[in-house]
Chains A and B, each alone.
Chain A
């Protein structure tokens, strides 16, 4: 069974840092692009970042560029999102998704909540 399990979310003060992890299983992780998508409380879905299979190519939403870094460890089948200079508006559930090509996101992890608050 294809599974994505996020972890690392929590409460952090503005300006702080957090690293999210996504453990992948049930598929050949190193063959796929991977993305992060977030959802603020009561709001819609917003794409955050993507990374190619070998980690050499990344892309970010303008809202997080320069503050967030996506990376992966194919030996550990794990995707990461390093978040720094966090803002209140970064408060959201962060979903890890497998990208089956052209942003065909399937499946989605269960999400990990991030709360940025004084």
Chain B
């Protein structure tokens, strides 16, 4: 199975400051169709996960533009340009190119 490794596992950020989460996969997530199937999900406290970013850098509908994704191959990053209170929760990266689909361990974001 593809192993997804996130760092850090927890993050404490002052509102208005940036935040960054790294995700590394044990195999390349680049498909022969030229797309890279790396996703970011956010699970807010007491809620189901929601899709934030698909195919490395495309924001899902309704996701604010302060969220951005980047990377290629096996190294990926989620950045929040200015953290807001509503961004608190656990962020997961996930790969969808190899079955079984696998998630990172999760990164808990809290406010300072």
Q: A-side interface residues toward B, CB under 8 Å?
A: 35, 44-47, 59, 61-62, 95, 102-111
Contacts of A105 in B (CB 8 A): 39, 41, 49, 51, 94
Which of B31, B55, B92, B96 is A45 in contact with, Cβ under 8 Å?
A: B92
Interface size bracket, B side = 20 to 34
CB <8 Å contact, A59 and B50: no
Please measure, in the bound complex, the distance between the C-alpha atom of A47 and the C-alpha atom of B103, giving whole angstroms: 8
Which of B31, B60, B95, B103 is A46 in contact with, Cβ under 8 Å?
A: B103
CB <8 Å contact, A103 and B94: yes
Report 9 cross-chain contacts, Cβ distance below 8 Å, ordered by A residue.
A45-B41, A59-B100, A95-B49, A104-B54, A105-B39, A105-B41, A105-B51, A106-B50, A110-B48
Q: B-side interface residues toward A, CB under 8 Å?
A: 31, 35, 37, 39, 41, 43, 48-51, 54-55, 60, 92, 94-97, 99-106
Contacts of B60 in A (CB 8 A): 106
Contacts of B35 in A (CB 8 A): 102
CB <8 Å contact, B54 and A44: no
- New A-B pairs, 13, CB < 8 Å, besides A47-B101, A102-B37: A44-B92, A45-B92, A47-B102, A95-B49, A102-B97, A103-B101, A104-B37, A104-B55, A107-B48, A108-B48, A108-B50, A109-B48, A111-B48
